[in-house]
Structure formats: structure tokens, C-alpha cells
Amino acid sequence: MSDPKDQYEDINSNDSVEEEEKDHIDLTKPKDHDFELYTRLGVEKNATSSQIKKAYRLASLRVHPDKNPDDPEADAKFQKVNEAYVILSDENKRKRYDLTGEIDDDGLDDLVNKCRFFYKEFCEEDIDTFATSYRDSKDEEEDLVNYYNQHNGDLTKLLSWIPLSQNHDVVRFIEIFDRLIEEKVIKATEEYHETRENIELLKEEVKEAEEQKSEKKRDKKSRKKKKTAEPSLDDLRSQILARKQKSSNDFLSNLASKYCDPDDPMGDMPSEEEFQRVQKKIKKTTKPKTSTKAKGKPKTKKIKASRK
């Protein structure tokens, strides 16, 4: 008969084994997963360490918050890129991830923060220099080829893939793709021709919209200039009334200065004779002009006195 103590120890031993098996991850059996970390950097699963490092540099430039100030998700994207690099740049962490699809969180936050700090300092100092050297370089062409092959020629997400690219670069990229197709470096695809055609149509629409916008601005400036050069009827009426008022005020001022003492505005009034003379002068200036056809003194009709 077995000792109950031994049975108790066997039960505890079995529980311990089950817990160990539950926590243990078999690294010899690859687990199906989407390899999302590789997608973040835009590299294949069999990418070399140097390729991963280069991809990380380009991806960081592409999503860096300093170059995407209008993107509210820029910080989150930059964080994901750094997480991917921390895992894939470490041989042991990468092997574990490839087999299980799980991310080793041990010390991950500290490593990511260090990586973010280092790369942020680098970007602030050298990002413009890199952009100048990268444009039209072999590295850029290689990245364009990789993008084309991975997206089967679909140009929809091209600008979000190529670092530091702007809208005006699309035309240049299409010229490069056309040349590479002619040189048989890449193959023409239906997706390429379709998205290329859509981009051409979009370019025409944007050009037409810009022309219409410029024309509206010119018309607006022309109307404003015309309005300034040609005053309205109300403005003309106001100007005429103002001139009349000024003329009247000037006449009254002259009259006051002639007959009034400046120190005594209510001084002696002009005499009746002086007032009549001024009144005649006013009537003379306002009297309508008569015809000037008949010159000389008007003829008077003589009336003969009747005889008694």
C-alpha cells in the first residue's frame, strides 16, 4: 500500500509539470503569424541586419514627427517603427519573434526610449543633409524598386513609403519607373498603368483648379481696382456738396473778416448802404447770363406827345 504522503507529492509534482508546460514555449515549432514587425520597416522576413538597419533609418525619416507636424498619429507611428527595430536588430529577440510571433517585452520600453532619443537627435541635425544626398541617388532608386515589387506597381501609397517625398516628386518617380520598365529592371503591371493614369488625371484636375483659382484672384483684383478708380454716384454727390459747402463757407468767412472785428464777433453791423451794395454783388454773381447776340444799348421807342 502506498504512502499517502508519496501520493500527495506526486500530485504536486504533476501540477508543477503542467504549469511548466503551460509557460514553456516550444521554439522548435514555428507559429503562424503575420510578421507585422517586418511590415513596419518594409523589409522581407529574410532581410539581413544591414538591410534592417537601413530600412529602419528610412522608415524613421518617413514617419518622423518633425517632418509630419500635421499628422496626429506621427508619434504613434514613430513608436511602432522603433519597437520593430529594437526586436529585429537583436538576434535572440528576432529569432523568438520569428518562431512565435510574440514580442519579448523584457526591457523593451527602455530600449525603445533610448532608440527614440538617439534618432531624434540625429534627425534634428542631419535630416536636411540626408534629404539632399538621398534625392536622385542609388538608394532612392533601390527603394523605389522595392516598393514597386512589393506593391505590384500600385502607386497609391508611394509617398508614404519613400522618405521625405512630396507631391511634386510623383512626376519624377513615374519617370524613373518608366525608365526602369524600359530597361527591364521591373515589369509593367496593370496596377501601375491604372494608378499612373489616375495620377495623370489628378494632375490635370489640380492644374485646372489652380488656373481657375488664379483667374478668380485676377478678376477680384481687377474689380477692386476699377471700383477704386471709378467712384460711385453717391461719392460724386458727396464731393459736389462738399465743394459747394466749402465755397459758401469761404464767402461767409470773407464777409465776416471784412465787417467783423475778430475780437468782437458781434461787433458793428454794416450800414444799410454797404449791405445793399453787397446784396447787389451777390445777385449779380447768381443772375443767369443773357444772350449776347444783340450788342450795344437797347433801342428805346420814342413816344410823340399829343397835341392839344
Please give the pLDDT value at position 224.
66
Which range marks the domain in which residue 152 is found? 135-228
Domain-embedded: residue 200: yes
Whole-angstrom Cα distance, residue 34 to residue 88? 15
Whole-angstrom Cα distance, residue 267 to residue 280? 23
Domain-embedded: residue 255: no
Closest CA relative to residue 101, chosen from 37, 188, 196, 194: 37
Q: Are residue 127 and residue 141 in the same domain, yes or no?
A: no
Which among 133, 149, 172 is the end of a domain?
133
Which among 228, 247, 275 is the end of a domain?
228
Domain-embedded: residue 268: no
Domain-embedded: residue 52: yes
Amino acid at 252: L
Q: Is 223's pLDDT higher than 60?
A: yes
How many structural domains does the chain have? Answer: 2
Q: Are residue 110 and residue 177 in the same domain, yes or no?
A: no
Q: Give the model's confidence band at 232: pLDDT under 50 very low, under 70 low, under 90 confident, else very high.
A: low
pLDDT tens digit string along 52-109? 888 888 888 778 777 778 888 888 888 888 888 888 988 888 888 888 877 765 554 5
Three-state DSSP at 234 gives helix
- Tell me the backbone φ, ψ of residue 240, rounded to 5 degrees: -65, -45
Domain-embedded: residue 171: yes
Q: Are residue 93 and residue 33 in the same domain, yes or no?
A: yes
Helices (H) and strands (E) counted in the chain, each on its own, are 12, 0
Question: Residue 77 is part of a domain; what is its CATH number?
Answer: 1.10.287.110
Domain-embedded: residue 298: no
Q: Give the model's confidence band at 176: pLDDT under 50 very low, under 70 low, under 90 confident, else very high.
A: very high
Q: Are residue 128 and residue 48 in the same domain, yes or no?
A: yes
Closest CA relative to residue 177, chosen from 189, 160, 161: 189
Asked if 177 and 140 count as a contact pair (C-beta separation under 8 A), the reply is no
Among 90-104, 124-138, 210-224, 269-283, name the one with the lowest average pLDDT: 269-283
Q: Are residue 142 and residue 48 in the same domain, yes or no?
A: no
Please give the pLDDT value at position 30.
45
Straight-line distance from the first to the last Cα atom of the chain, in angstroms, rounded to the nearest whole number:
194
Q: Are residue 37 and residue 129 in the same domain, yes or no?
A: yes
Q: Are residue 166 and residue 203 in the same domain, yes or no?
A: yes
Q: Are residue 96 and residue 139 in the same domain, yes or no?
A: no
Q: Are residue 125 and residue 144 in the same domain, yes or no?
A: no
Three-state DSSP at 34 gives coil
Whole-angstrom Cα distance, residue 79 to residue 118? 13
pLDDT tens digit string along 122-155? 555 566 777 788 889 998 999 899 899 989 999 9
Please give the residue that has the higher pLDDT: either 8 or 198: 198
Please give the pLDDT value at position 124.
55
Give the largest CA-CA distance in the chain. 194
Output the nine-digit C-alpha cell for 253: 468767412
Task: Tell the burial category of 75 from Cβ atoms under 10 Å away from its Cβ (0-12, 13-18, 19+).
Answer: middle
Q: Is 278's pLDDT higher than 60?
A: yes
Please give the residue that has the higher pLDDT: either 165 or 230: 165
Which among 228, 254, 270 is the end of a domain?
228
Q: Are residue 127 and residue 146 in the same domain, yes or no?
A: no
